[in-house]
């Protein structure tokens, strides 16, 4: 296991003032706020260590934004595999988005059944399409390009069932906007490392990462944390003896950083 990340690299990248973006202000608690300098230093170490270990993730070609939004919606509380299966069935049964919108709700529910929670996801998909059709006249999400990141996120989260995670995935992956999606893997690894309090919400964890690392790191760090969570810091049995983060991991080191949080 490599131990020699350049301290110069970490120090150089943490040598500026910490700025909390207005949209993150209310998610940074006083306890987190006072620890921001140490969290930033640790975050930069984690970033470099994961980059050293996994390398720079390649920017994958993404599907059209609306496809991505529907798939992300289907993937909520499900696996990527089942979400994609449901998406393919949906597309086979309904060749156009107009067809999905006009279909009877039970037909859409039946088409997405393999993703689970179909009774919620079917109507949710039709609600997305209805909002687009009513407000934009078509099924094209490219108007989000012309909005600020906050406006685009507000538009997306204004749809019932679309939370900040789905919105930030779409905005980061399809529109290259500076958002840091926090899924179950990122949340678990962040808490075990001590980057966030044990009871932090995913929105709070997102606010911490967005505050302590520069925007150009969001994409590679997000993907490397997910990979680390899937392959090493697994939910039930973390493989700590194979982990490149163990020397700074609060859980592994038995550090209780967040006693007052
Ligand atoms: S040392 Fe263990 S708990 Fe900590 S990040 Fe690594 S795998 Fe997860």
pLDDT on residue 89: 97
pLDDT on residue 83: 94
If one residue of 50, 196, 245, 257 were mutated to test the ligand 1 pocket, choosing by the most ligand atoms within 8 A of its CB, it would be: 245
Numbers of helices and strands, H then E, in the chain:
13, 0
Q: Are 120 and 126 in contact (CB under 8 A)?
A: no
Helix (H), strand (E) at residue 120: helix 118-136
pLDDT on residue 58: 84
Q: Which of 78, 71, 86, 69 is nearest to 168 (CA)?
A: 69
**Ligand 1 lined by 46 (C-beta under 6 Å):** no
3-class SS string, 129-182: HHHHHHHHCCCCCHHHHHCCHHHHHHHHHCCCCCCHHHHHHHHHHHHCCCCCCC
pLDDT on residue 13: 65
Give the position, in ligand 1's atom list, of the atom nearest the Cα of 244: 6
Any catalytic annotation for residue 165?
yes
pLDDT on residue 144: 95
**Ligand 1 lined by 233 (C-beta under 6 Å):** yes
Q: Rounded CA gap, 135 and 218, in Å? A: 31
Instruction: Summarize the confidence of residues 218-238 as an average pLDDT.
Output: 97
Which CATH architecture group holds 7-58+180-253?
Answer: Orthogonal Bundle (1.10)
| Fold (CATH) for 65-175 | Endonuclease III; domain 1 (1.10.340)
Instruction: Summarize the confidence of residues 17-30 as an average pLDDT.
Output: 94
Q: Rounded CA gap, 183 and 83, in Å? A: 15
Number of other residues whose CB lies within 10 A of the CB of residue 239: 10
If one residue of 190, 238, 250, 255 were mutated to test the ligand 1 pocket, choosing by the most ligand atoms within 8 A of its CB, it would be: 238
Question: Which 8-state DSSP code applies to residue 12?
Answer: H
CA of 250 to the centre of ligand 1 (A): 8
pLDDT digits (tens, 9 = 90+) for 93-129: 999 999 999 999 999 999 999 999 999 999 999 999 9
Instruction: Summarize the confidence of residues 176-192 as an average pLDDT.
Output: 96
pLDDT on residue 159: 87
pLDDT on residue 123: 94
pLDDT on residue 56: 94
Residue predicted with more confidence, 160 or 91: 91
Residue with CA at minimum distance from ligand 1 atom 4: 249
Using DSSP's 3-state secondary structure scheme, residue 223 falls into: helix
pLDDT digits (tens, 9 = 90+) for 54-81: 999 987 767 899 999 999 899 988 888 9
pLDDT on residue 1: 39
Instruction: Summarize the confidence of residues 24-39 as an average pLDDT.
Output: 96
pLDDT on residue 7: 65
pLDDT on residue 260: 59
Is 246's pLDDT higher than 60?
yes
Q: Where are the domains of the chain?
A: 7-58+180-253, 65-175
Is 3's pLDDT higher than 60?
no
- Place 225 in a pLDDT band, splitting at 50, 70 and 90: very high
Q: Spot the catalytic one: 34, 42, 91, 165.
A: 165
**Ligand 1 lined by 156 (C-beta under 6 Å):** no
CA of 193 to the centre of ligand 1 (A): 7
Mean of the per-residue pLDDT values of the chain: 92
């Amino acid at each position: 296991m490599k131990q020699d990340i350049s301290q110069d690299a970490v120090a150089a990248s943490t040598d500026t003032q910490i700025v909390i973006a207005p949209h993150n202000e209310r998610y940074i608690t006083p306890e987190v706020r006072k620890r921001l300098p140490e969290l930033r230093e640790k975050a930069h170490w984690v970033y470099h260590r994961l980059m050293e270990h996994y390398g720079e993730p390649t920017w994958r070609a993404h599907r059209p934004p609306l496809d991505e939004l529907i798939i992300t919606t289907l993937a909520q509380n499900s696996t990527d595999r089942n979400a994609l299966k449901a998406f393919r069935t949906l597309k086979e049964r309904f060749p156009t988005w107009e067809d999905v919108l006009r279909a009877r709700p039970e037909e859409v529910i039946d088409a997405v059944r393999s993703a689970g929670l179909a009774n919620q996801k079917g109507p949710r998909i039709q609600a997305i399409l209805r909002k687009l059709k009513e407000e934009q006249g078509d099924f094209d999400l490219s108007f989000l390009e012309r909005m600020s990141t906050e406006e685009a996120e507000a538009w997306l989260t204004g749809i019932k069932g679309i939370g900040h995670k789905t919105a930030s995935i779409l905005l980061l992956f399809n529109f290259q906007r500076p958002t840091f999606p926090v899924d179950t893997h990122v949340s678990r690894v962040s808490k075990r490392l001590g980057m966030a309090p044990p009871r932090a919400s995913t929105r709070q964890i997102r606010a911490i990462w967005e505050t302590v690392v520069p925007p150009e790191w969001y994409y590679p760090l997000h993907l490397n944390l997910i990979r680390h969570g899937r392959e090493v810091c697994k939910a039930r049995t973390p493989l700590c003896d194979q982990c490149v983060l163990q020397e700074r991991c609060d859980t592994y080191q038995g550090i209780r950083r967040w006693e007052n949080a």
